[in-house]
Structure 1
Amino acid sequence: MPTGGFRGVAFSLIPGLNTALHYQRAWLVPDLRAGIVLSFLLIPAGMGYAEASGLPAYTGLYATIVPLVVYAVFGPSRILVLGPDSALAPIIAASILPLALGNTERAIALAGLLGLMVGLTLLIAGLFRLGFVTDLLSKPIRVGYLNALALLVIISQIPKLLGFSIEAPGPIQGIGAIVQGAAAGSIVVGAMLLGLASLAVIVGLRFLLGGRIPGVLIAVVASIVVTAIFSLQNILPIVGAMPQGLPAPALGGLVWDDVVSLIGPALGIALIAFADTGVLSRTLAARRGDSVDGSQEMAGLGIANIGGGFFGGFPISASTSRTPVAEQAGARSQLTPVIGALIIVIFMLVAPGVTGYLPTATLGAVVIVAAASLLDVSGASRLWRIDKTDALLSIAAFLGVFLVGVLQGILVAIGLSLVAFVIRAWRPYRAELGRIPGVRGYHDRSRHPDADRVPGIVIVRFDAPLFFANGGIFDDYVRSMVRRAERESEAGGTPVHTVILAAEPITDIDTTAIDELLELDEYLASRGVTLVLAEVKGPVKDRLQAFGLGDRFSPERLAPTVGAAVDAASGELRDDIGGAI
């Protein structure tokens, strides 16, 4: 294999290799800074979601460290941060706890097995190029999705900012619980002051100094110092110290029955993880001017899950709270999550107690600012100005994700997108074309009143594939144009003898539309009118041949251009601007 070809394959299979070979020196400081900031968020998030999954807190760190490093090598996104996720935690707990029967070691082994099965599912799907589903995630869906996620994350962090916690099944209930907690006096004043001060530092430095000084890092370090000096760790909610020990395999005691029991949960988690990761990855890539291959993203996520599952972790996906923190902190490449993972390892070995002085209110402030950066209000308003249908799709995605759930909301929005596509193709734009003296080509008469019909000829254009839903509309439209032309010819004009279909926009035709085309042809023939198809695309010609219509629509009825069809029908050879030659 040529060297270039080998390198191309290597870069495709191992995107991190391409980043390493093309790494820019200017990225190093931003990546280091972002990695340090990110590490302080990775620790509490990992530990918290592990407990929510029914597992020991330290497994959340294992499920963070290994996937971050693996994805940095095999994942296509340069900014995505992977780790334990709130959407997966309840499914993981419901899947493994009934099988573990109170045995913690067995629960850890089952969680690792579940991670392996999720990873294998995603890897196989990626190898079979099933990542095309991300093509269904249109801009309106992505805008609605991110706006909903931003609000969900902000709502979830407000209690931490105020120094208390809530239990609520959804965001509406969460807002109610926050109001009730505040009214009941649950706010911890010291935590709230630290949280608001952290918000002020992060936002203030960004606006005043344009982000040249890392406000997030300053806020985190200052909060730790203040907490340690004044011994606030005894009166404020804090992250807590990290456990000691490094990731290691923990898959003992498993049997085949466990694999069978986890097949269903593994498929469901794989679908949710990729839906969440695919939308976030593609949206962030678009914002940075990059592109991400959906199948490669699926495979990279799969390998990361395999790594985490093998080394004592559990299923993970992209993080909608930690990724924007890395982005806002200035991350430039996959080195940022690697640095974050290495810092966690160092702290676990050298100073596991440092996070025992980190207030959760400060982390809440960090996440709120990062989540706010995901909000795209201007994008939503722009959609409303440009296309009301796209705006409604965006609103549907927002409401679905916000009120029902990430996967359900995305699926609803994709379904509505397909319905909108069918509606647009069902009643597409259609026009009668005419000739403007002195202007080349043939033009829409509804937009150009000075465009004249060629005597005896009706030229029509239908801007969509012909299929079962619009075949009748196409037939009715052509007939109505012919009848209108005939009424006008009764006043002294040339009788209609030819209908020319400008067929270039018609990219496909199905059996139902074929029948409609034949009925139209017979109707026109009964009135002494010849139907000519101009500029028919090759695949559509092939379909006509496959349906045995090669003799019916012989070469003389298939014109290479509209102009050639007009020349043949009128018996005159004209130049491109309508003059006879």
Structure 2
Amino acid sequence: MGGKPAPAHHRDRRLLPRLEAAVPGIRAVSTYRREWLVKDLVAGVVLTTLLVPQGMAYAELAGLPAITGLYTTVLCLLGYAVCGPSRILVLGPDSALGPMIAATVLPLVAADGDPDRAVALASVLALMVGAIMILASVAKLGFIADLISKPTMIGYMNGLALTILIGQLPKLFGFKVEADSLIGEFTGFVTGLADGAAVPAAAAVGLGGIVVVLVLQRFLPKVPAVLVMVVLAMTAAVLLDLGDRGVSLVGQLPEGFPPFTVPDVRLSDLPLLLGGALGIALVSLADTISNASAFAARTGQEVHGNQEMTGVGVANLAAGLFQGFPVSTSGSRTAVAERAGARTQLTGVVGAALIVLMLVLVPGLFRDLPQPALAAVVITASLSLADVPGAVRLWRQSRTEFLLCCAAFLGVALLGVLPGIAIAVALSVLNVFRRAWWPYRTVLGRVPDLEGYHDVRSYPQARQLPGLVVYRFDAPLFFANAKTFRDEIRRLAAADPPPTWIVVAAEPMTDVDTTAADVLEDLDEELNARGVHLVFAELKDPVRRKIERFELTRTIDPGHFFPTVGAAVTAFRRLTGADWTDRDG
């Protein structure tokens, strides 16, 4: 007999947790507390004062009309509020992504710089980034963010900060430079200054804006520095007629909100856009995981890396369908929301609603905003990207990692931001490979009054057993380092007098591949012919099973595998009667 179907209310109770897990916004609404409302509303108002100028500034940094930054901000906030797991993480246009978007989109724009085509390309880029993030989430590929090591990320960000800074200098001084490289932009800026192209009023606004933001952030961190600077700049523009003094203004923004739009681009553009989308997704992923981890630790939440990727992916999809461009999480905006008392994603929803009201009711609110003020916003943001103390610390702690940092920096500065991110990833992977290729290896000895067996480099007084060498190789044994291992063992076996046993302290060996297995087989036969035995201690069970599967026990005596180094040493002493001697004895 078939069972009766579950009652509808039972099915609903089973379905709701699944729905809440897939759409965190539903859980946020169902668990919302009334006492959070005022704090979220106030935080939303405060956050908006930062969202508007930064959104406009970062849009122009990406080579797009300022209005698209506001469209992007609205849609990404709403998308993340529905699908993002974090209570207070804030998304939006990002200073780190702006140059990457420009580097991807601008080469594809027609020679006349058609802004509509640029917006369409940027929207497709956002859709691609969103799709990549969601697919990565489904495949649980959050670990990809670890492909960029800290030293290479420091170098990349320092290079990016310098690129942004120099790229914004002409705008800060009121003129334009046509160049496609960092050196070209800097040369053009210096030439423009020498030729008198700078607009004094624009320079005063831009430099004054930087000073205002930095001073307020340093001494009055709770004051919305960017908003204060923007209000002062617009006031100066009106009172001093800066528009008539050669200062470029933002002008009237389009009224209303864009409709749902499927961007129309050429098929030939898609491969180049995909390359840029992969780089942007990687940086966005690393940024998201780091920001989510930092703020989750402070608020007592757990980090759901794959769900974060879904939330950021949905935010990018939403932006791309309403004339927006790729977005990421923002540490600075999240910090502002947190300090303002934000409790949930309602803060971002309030910010999005206020921006929409501004676009519908008062689109001319920012028409008198000087462009140099937007450049000041971008430049101060770029300064926060740079980590010069981190580079100095690398110089003191590890020259190798400092050189990796410098290489990533030069990659961005000399080749551009997209090649720079590729170089950063490649350097990180090569550094991992280098460590496995040339791992640390040493001989171990017994130290009086100290339990265990220890590195003779750290303990020169360590004692040895005549005829026995204990050797440690700190890496998995695979095709790239197998010959290094073989050459080291040969060197130890060539000592005068030669050892009888070479005990490999194999605890660090987490794997053995087929190439290494072949090398081990030939090495063991060679040593056996010379009366030297290769012995393994502390070999992990999975690695031991691999060795048996590779049939290495045909040459390596099964009795030469010991659970510990101590057991191997005891067996050797029982066999030979050897006793400990000083290293120079």
TM-score normalized by the length of structure 1: 0.82
Tell me, yes or no, if structure 1 residue 498 matches structure 2 residue 501. yes
Partner of 1:224: 234
Matched, 1:158 2:169: yes
Question: Retained in 1: the 8 A contact 2:130–2:314?
Answer: yes
CA distance in 1, matches of 2:547, 2:16: 43
Query: Residues 386 and 79 of structure 1: is their aligned pair in 2 closer, same or farther, counting only changes over 3 Å?
Result: farther
Secondary structure at the counterpart of residue 304 of structure 1: helix
Q: Could you tell me how far apart the structure 2 residues matched to 1:15 and 1:516 are?
A: 56
Count of residue correspondences: 553
> Amino acid of the residue matched to residue 566 of structure 1?
V
Closer, same or farther in 2 for the Cα pair 1:184/1:297, shift >3 Å? farther
1:41 alignment partner in structure 2: 54
Aligned to 2:486: 475
Which position in structure 2 is the counterpart of 1:198? Answer: 209
Structure 2 CA distance for partners of 1:36 and 1:389, relative to 1, 3 Å: same
Is the CA contact (8 Å cut-off) linking 1:434 and 1:443 kept in structure 2?
A: yes
Contact 2:72 2:93 in 1 (8 A): no
Amino acid at match of 1:420: N
- 1:279-290 alignment runs, 5 A limit: 279-282=286-289, 284=291
Question: Which sits farther off after the overlay, 284-293 or 378-387?
Answer: 284-293
CA distance in 1, matches of 2:66, 2:226: 25
1:434 is aligned to 2:437: no
Could you tell me which amino acid in structure 2 is paired with residue 362 of structure 1? Answer: A
CA shift digits 1:72-104 (9 cap, x unpaired): 443467244237844334644666869xxx996
- The answer on whether the counterparts of 1:115 and 1:309 sit within 8 Å (CA) in structure 2 is yes
- Between the aligned partners of 1:25 and 1:433, the Cα distance in structure 2 is 65
Q: In structure 1, which of residues 369, 383, 391 is the aligned counterpart of residue 402 of structure 2?
A: 391
Is contact 1:17-1:73 (8 Å) kept? no
What's the counterpart of residue 65 of structure 1? 74
User: Aligned partners of 1:386, 1:17: CA distance in 2, in Å?
Assistant: 46
TM-aligned CA deviation for residue 353 of structure 1: 0.7
2:542 aligned partner:
539
2:379 pairs, out of 368, 375, 390, with 368
Counterpart of 2:508, as a letter, is: P
Pairing partner for 1:466 from 466, 470, 477? 477
- Write the deviation string for residues 368-403 of structure 1: whole angstroms up to 9, x where unpaired: 222212211110011111111211111111111222
AA aligned opposite 1:479 = R
Aligned equivalent of 2:411, options 358, 379, 400: 400
Name the residue aligned to 1:276: 283
Asked if residue 524 in structure 1 is aligned to residue 522 in structure 2, the reply is no
Matches of 1:484 and 1:103 in 2, distance apart?
74
Q: State the SS of the aligned residue for 2:198.
A: coil
Q: Given the alignment of the two structures, is residue 300 of structure 1 paired with residue 307 of structure 2, yes or no?
A: no
Give, in whole Å, the separation in 1 of the partners of 2:70 and 2:331. Answer: 19
CA distance in 1, matches of 2:557, 2:310: 49
Whole-angstrom distance in 1 between the partners of 2:186 and 2:123: 35
Aligned to 1:142: 153
Q: Which letter does structure 2 place at the counterpart of 1:136?
A: L
Q: Say which SS state the counterpart of residue 501 (structure 1) adopts.
A: strand
Partner of 2:224: 214
| CA-CA distance at 1:348 after TM superposition | 0.9
Deviation at 1:540, TM superposition (A): 1.1
SS at match of 1:448: coil
CA distance in structure 1 between the aligned counterparts of 2:507 and 2:16, rounded to whole angstroms: 41
Give the distance between the partners of 2:512 and 2:126, measured in 1 at CA.
Answer: 45
Q: Go from structure 1 to structure 2 and tell me whether the alpha carbon gap of 1:113 and 1:472 turns closer, same or farther (over 3 Å shift).
A: closer
Residue 244 and residue 91 in structure 1: after superposition, are their counterparts in 2 closer, same or farther (change >3 A)?
A: same
- Helix, strand or coil for the counterpart of 1:402? helix
In 2, distance between residues paired with 1:486 and 1:4? Answer: 74
Deviation at 1:414, TM superposition (A): 2.2
Q: Percent identity?
A: 38
Q: 1:15 to 1:452 in 2, by over 3 A?
A: farther
Task: Report SS of the residue matched to 2:495.
Answer: helix
Partner of 1:173: 184
Whether contact under 8 Å (2:56, 2:68) holds in the other structure is no
User: Structure 1, residues 340-366: CA drift from partner, whole Å, max 9, x if none?
Assistant: 433321111111111112112222222
User: Cα distance, 1:200 vs. partner?
Assistant: 2.5
Q: Give the structure 2 partner of residue 183 of structure 1.
A: 194
Instruction: From 562, 566, 570, give the equivalent of 1:567.
Output: 570
Measured after TM superposition, the shift of residue 432 of structure 1 is 1.4
The secondary structure found in structure 2 opposite 1:431 is strand
1:215 maps to a residue whose letter is A
Q: Distance in 2 between matches of 1:501 and 1:483?
A: 16
Give 1:443's match in structure 2, choosing from 451, 454, 464: 454
Q: 1:453 aligns with which of 464, 470, 484?
A: 464
User: Partners in 2 of 1:95 and 1:540 — Cα distance?
Assistant: 52
Contact persistence 2:122–2:325 (CA under 8 A)? yes
Q: Distance in 1 between matches of 2:187 and 2:458?
A: 54
Structure 1 residues 130 and 142, CA gap change in structure 2 (3 angstroms): same
Task: Measure how far apart 1:203 and its partner are.
Answer: 2.0
**Shift of residue 562 of structure 1?**
0.7
- Higher mean alpha-carbon deviation, 112-121 vs 17-26, is at 17-26
- The answer (yes or no) to whether the contact 2:134–2:310 under 8 Å persists in 1 is yes
1:134 partner letter? A
- Alignment deviations for residues 512-552 of structure 1 (CA, whole Å, 9 cap, x no partner): 22122223322332233332211001221121122123454
Who is 1:492 aligned against?
A: none
Q: Could you tell me how far 1:274 is from its partner in structure 2?
A: 0.8
C-alpha contact (below 8 Å) 2:445/2:462 kept by paired residues: yes
C-alpha distance in 1, partners of 2:557/2:13? 51
Seen in structure 2, the aligned counterparts of structure 1 residues 303 and 335 have a Cα distance that, compared at 3 Å, is same
Residue 490 (structure 1) aligns with: none
Asked if the contact 1:509–1:540 (Cα under 8 Å) also holds between the matched residues in 2, the reply is yes
Equivalent position SS for 1:164: coil
Structure 1 range deviating more: 437-446 or 77-86: 77-86
TM-score after normalising by structure 2: 0.82
Equivalents in 1 of 2:468, 2:13: separation in Å?
60
Q: 2:8: which partner in 1? A: none
Report Cα offsets for 1:295-342 as digits up to 9, x if no partner: 55554343223222333x1542438xxx46636756567666545433
Shift of 1:58: 5.0
Displacement of 1:179 in angstroms is: 1.5
Structure-2 separation of matches of 1:103 and 1:280: 28
Residues 215/522 of structure 1: CA separation in 2 closer, same or farther (3 Å cut): same
2:248 counterpart (195, 213, 237) = 237
Which consecutive residues of structure 2, in runs of 5 or more, have no partner in the other structure? 1-10
Partner Cα distance (1:149, 1:206) in 2: 22
Q: Deviations over 1:126-185 (max 9, x none)?
A: 322344332211101110111111112222222232222332212211112222222222
Q: Specify the SS of the correspondent of 2:464.
A: coil
Q: Could you tell me how far apart the structure 1 residues matched to 2:400 and 2:538 are?
A: 31
**Are 1:241 and 1:352, in contact at CA under 8 Å, matched by a contact in 2?**
yes
Deviation at residue 481 of structure 1 after TM alignment: 2.3
Q: Which amino acid aligns with 1:224?
A: M
Out of 233-242 and 171-180, give the one that drifted further. 233-242
Offset at 1:18?
6.3
2:517 to 514, 517, 522: 514
Other-structure match for 2:3: none
Instruction: Tell me the distance in 1 between the aligned counterparts of 2:13 and 2:354.
Output: 37
Q: Which amino acid aligns with 2:479?
A: F
Going from structure 1 to structure 2, the CA distance change for 1:517 and 1:419 (only over 3 Å counts) comes to same
Q: Is the 8 A contact 2:46 2:337 kept in 1?
A: yes
SS across alignment from 2:552? coil
Query: Are 1:74 and 2:87 matched, yes or no?
Result: no
- Determine if the alignment matches structure 1 residue 120 to structure 2 residue 131: yes
